[in-house]
Amino acid sequence: QNFAQLNTYTQQLNASTQKQFELLRQQLAELDAETKKITTTYQQPITKLDAIHQRLEQLENSTKQLNTNTQQQIQPLREYVTQLNAYTQGFNKNTEKQLEEFKYAIALLQTEMQNLAESLTQTEQRLSQEVAEKVKQPQVKITIPTPAKPQPQNTILHIQPSEAEKTETTQALPPVEITPPTPPTTQIQKSKSLSSLRGHTERVVSVAFHPNSVAPEKRILASGSHDKTIKIWRLDTQENRTLTVSEKVNSIAFSPDGKVLACGHDDKTVKLWDVDTEREICNFIGHKEKVYAVAFSPNGKIIASGSQDKTIKLWSLDEQKEIYTLTGHLDEILCVAFSPNNRLVASGGGERDQTIKIWHLTQDKFLTLKGKSGTLGRIYSICFSPDGTTLASGHQDKIIRFWDVETGREISNITGHNDEVYAVAFSPDGKKLASGSYDGNLKIWQVDTGEELNHITIGEGAIYCVAYSPDGKILATANGDKTVTLVNLESRTTQRYKDIEIEKGFD
């Protein structure tokens, strides 16, 4: 309707303008004729010049009237164009919202299709197993004799055991003496294997070891805090250098060569710093909400970032720009991790999503991991094992889960924490897993057995991040009490069921 009215006004304006221009042409033609007469017969009386002057005044008045009429007719046209622009902007906003909802619907559909495929596969395997068992069962009717009325031997169908069955052990198993398990003991002690790094004024939420931190005199650790600073520590002297940023730091990560430090911030950016010069190299802008997690690819060419805006972005260090956006989660992204072979990115979602997704970067697809319990809660932390075959995750429901990366199935889980598990990290050899929880407890587990090897009470605040040194001899924790705790694993004996607590004020 707006376009129809606009067309009508345009036609009326054209018709009126044509009439005015026609009158103007006639007057110009008369003026031209008079000018020619003056040029050819300049001897004529000067009175004709007055007539020309009058004609010019009439022409000027006609032009002014034409401008006034044109402005009056153009004004409604401008109003309709303004209305049309407002309608177009509203349409664009609604379309963008519908597209966002459509993306979420597609992600849900993909997850449900994956679940359906797994269910069909399980059903098919179960049916195949049942059919195979029925086919193997011999259709033989066996009559068992009763002691009261023995039957002749030739009336009983005897099934002779095979040679293989004869060779199997037929002796009774020896009696087994079951000893009740000894209740776990708690040992409280002051340990020289623990030390703290102090200097932050707000909670410390992320720690990362420099990849070349092998020799004791070269061990370097970075810590990121909500006090808007990143501190780079020399562990032998406990001296630090401070990088000051504009917003809270949520996550930090060293590049594989240790030359660059990446950090995710509340201001929706990912910043890169030169570790040696302490200068900002690059500031990646693209997320619409806070950046909660950052991770370097093992080859050092790509950074993955997870955000409150429900997306994961991949950034190129060489080109210093965004190269891809991964969408599929239905809530904020709390953690991201690269696989050792550079081909996979794992991500964990918030409470309204409760899924872990493994993104196949070379195949443009993702795998959604579903646990045995059905609900996972928030996924606070994920990490790949050094060989890349297993993924560990820490959850809101106080459980640590292990996943098969290839199939996406839950292998096992550990239920030893009494509060939400905020952090998990594999040891460099992949045999142990460290975990930190909201209640300030650090635990070390044997991966293959799930056995608890160590239990250390760090403090009253939460443990937001744990990290092993490259040689596996030092374990660092980022704490809610504004400190970083260092655990010297070399000077500790690994003992099961032993709790080591730090006395208040111990440094």
**Tens digit of each residue's pLDDT (9 = 90 or more) over 87-128:** 888 787 777 777 777 777 777 777 778 778 777 877 888 888
**Tens digit of each residue's pLDDT (9 = 90 or more) over 400-442:** 999 999 999 999 999 999 999 999 999 999 999 999 999 999 9
**Tens digit of each residue's pLDDT (9 = 90 or more) over 27-55:** 888 888 888 877 777 656 667 777 788 88
Q: Which comes out higher in pLDDT, residue 365 or 472?
A: 472
Dihedral class, residue 336 (left if φ above 0, else alpha if ψ from -120 to 50, else beta): beta
Q: Are strands 302-307 and 441-446 parallel, antiparallel or unpaired?
A: unpaired
User: Does residue 486 carry a pLDDT above 50?
Assistant: yes
pLDDT of residue 449: 93
Nearest-angstrom CA–CA distance, 444 and 34? 108
Nearest alpha-carbon partner for 463 in 448, 483, 449, 445? 483
Nearest-angstrom CA–CA distance, 451 and 496? 8
**Tens digit of each residue's pLDDT (9 = 90 or more) over 185-219:** 333 333 446 789 999 999 999 999 999 877 777 89
User: Does residue 309 carry a pLDDT above 90?
Assistant: yes
- Using CB atoms within 10 A of its CB, is residue 20 exposed (0-12), middle (13-18) or buried (19+)? middle
Nearest-angstrom CA–CA distance, 260 and 247? 19
pTM over 0.95: no
